[in-house]
Structure 1
Amino acid sequence: MRKFGLIGKKLGHSFSKKYFTEKFAREGIADSSYALYELPQIEDLLPLLQQEPELVGLNVTVPYKEQVLPLLDALDKAAARIGAVNTIKIENGRTTGYNTDYTGFNQTMERFYPPQVREQALVLGTGGAAKAVWAALEALGIPFKRVSRQENKGQLTYEQLTPEVVGKYNLLINTTPLGMYPDVQEAPALSYKSITARHYAYDLVYNPEQTLFLQKCAANGAKTINGLPMLYAQADSAWHIWSSR
């Protein structure tokens, strides 16, 4: 039996188990299962690998996409450059980290935010998912500004997101968990009244499908997309990594 799974702190929101279980059944992939592994701390990964010797692949979600790096035997070039991992391949007792968030985000951007409308982006959040988004935006040649709760050089704080600032960036990307189930009444703090029909709002959260962030943006005419298309794309990329020899 080949075992796959997801590691994170709280996994009640996860789509991965349903997705891969249905994939195995639909495509006739035998002797394979997918489980959720809630880890109170990332150091619990090593005991998990010892307890589950049949594990061959893991997805990684918040808050461990960055914390997992020093526990892995190797990183592929993209994951090392990005500084975050969301996919682990386990082969002959060795763990290698990959980043398919980058791939998934990149693929969805081509359709949602095509070249003819591209200006510059505000990226809300500075965690592991944000790092993949930064790398993808750089690859696409889209200028962007990071937004953080703390003051840091080269970044904006949420207090600085005035109507004038929000108006300058026609792509808003939420990489934070704000608005994720069950905390559906939360949304990033910014001047929503300055959002117009020229804006594009991308929320990496996918549960609920219409977060408060997306609702507020759409109410002012913005085009919106949630994290589901990216999630499907990154899951397919993860499966390709696990399946390749």
Structure 2
Amino acid sequence: MKEYGLIGRPLGHSASARYFAEKFRSEGIADCSYSLFELPSIDDLSRLLADHPDLCGFNVTIPYKREVMRCLDDLSDEVRNIGAVNCVRCRGGRLTGFNTDVIGLRRSLARFLGVLPERALILGTGGASQAVQYVLSEMGIAFDLVSRDPAKGNYTYDNLPCEAVEEAKLIVNASPVGTYPNVDDAPRIPYAFVSPEHYLFDLVYNPPLTSFLDYGRQRGARICNGQEMFVEQAEASWRIWNE
């Protein structure tokens, strides 16, 4: 039995196990399983690998997308540029890190956006944000970062100018704020300055309509959740594990 899975903490919101179970069922893949491995610390990865010698690959989510890099033997060129991993291939006793978030994000944003905006705001500065920064740079979209930590962003949520929200026609929530079960939470930005000219993109897919997106919808903005990105990155991971 080939094993695959997801590491992170917490994992109650994740749809990965359900997605792969349905994929295996619908495609007649009988010799594979996908499990959720909630690790208290990234240091527990070595024990997980010892306990699951048939693990062929795993996905990585919050809070280990950057921490996992020190546990790996090889990194893809894209990971070296991004600085975050969400997919690991286990082969021949070696662990190789990839980033399939960028694949999902490229495709999802390409379908979502009309005319490319000149400027964007990225909410959050963690591992998912690293992928967003990489893709927006590829697309030629300038961006500012909003963080809880003044040392990591251009702005904090407490000093974000209304003009910055007004001018950035693309706003991406790359933080976990609003993820199930905390569905009433939303990033603290001045939504009154969101307009019908705005695009709001949320990497969160559970719930499908986050409070962040709902506030944008109420202001007439075009909105998109992370479901399509999730599917694209999952399929890209599967190709990497089995190529």
Counterparts of 2:161 and 2:100 in 1: how far apart (Å)? 33
Aligned position for 2:231: 232
* Alpha carbons 2:100, 2:236 under 8 Å: kept: yes
1:80 to partner: Cα distance: 1.3
Counterparts of 2:152 and 2:79 in 1: how far apart (Å)? 24
Aligned position for 1:147: 146
- After the TM superposition, which segments of 4 or more aligned residues of structure 1 sit over 3 Å from their partners? none
Aligned position for 2:101: 101
1:153 to partner: Cα distance: 7.1
The reply to whether residue 202 of structure 1 matches residue 201 of structure 2 is: yes
Superposition map of 1:184-195 within 5 A: 184-195=183-194
1:100 to partner: Cα distance: 0.3
Q: Percent of aligned pairs with the same residue? A: 47
What SS does structure 1 have at the residue aligned with 2:37? strand
Counterparts of 1:219 and 1:84 in 2: how far apart (Å)? 34
1:152 to partner: Cα distance: 2.8
Superposition map of 1:120-135 within 5 A: 120-135=119-134
The reply to whether residue 162 of structure 1 matches residue 165 of structure 2 is: no
Aligned position for 2:86: 86
Counterparts of 1:89 and 1:12 in 2: how far apart (Å)? 23
Unaligned runs of 5+ in 2: none
Aligned position for 1:69: 69
Counterparts of 2:46 and 2:30 in 1: how far apart (Å)? 27
Task: Give the partner amino acid of 1:199.
Answer: H
Counterparts of 1:90 and 1:26 in 2: how far apart (Å)? 25
TM-score for both structures, normalised by structure 2: 0.98
Unaligned runs of 5+ in 1: none
RMSD: 1.0
Counterparts of 1:214 and 1:51 in 2: how far apart (Å)? 41
TM-score for both structures, normalised by structure 1: 0.97
Counterparts of 2:153 and 2:237 in 1: how far apart (Å)? 32
1:159 to partner: Cα distance: 2.0
Counterparts of 1:129 and 1:154 in 2: how far apart (Å)? 14
Alignment coverage as a number of residue pairs: 243
Task: Give the partner amino acid of 1:200.
Answer: Y
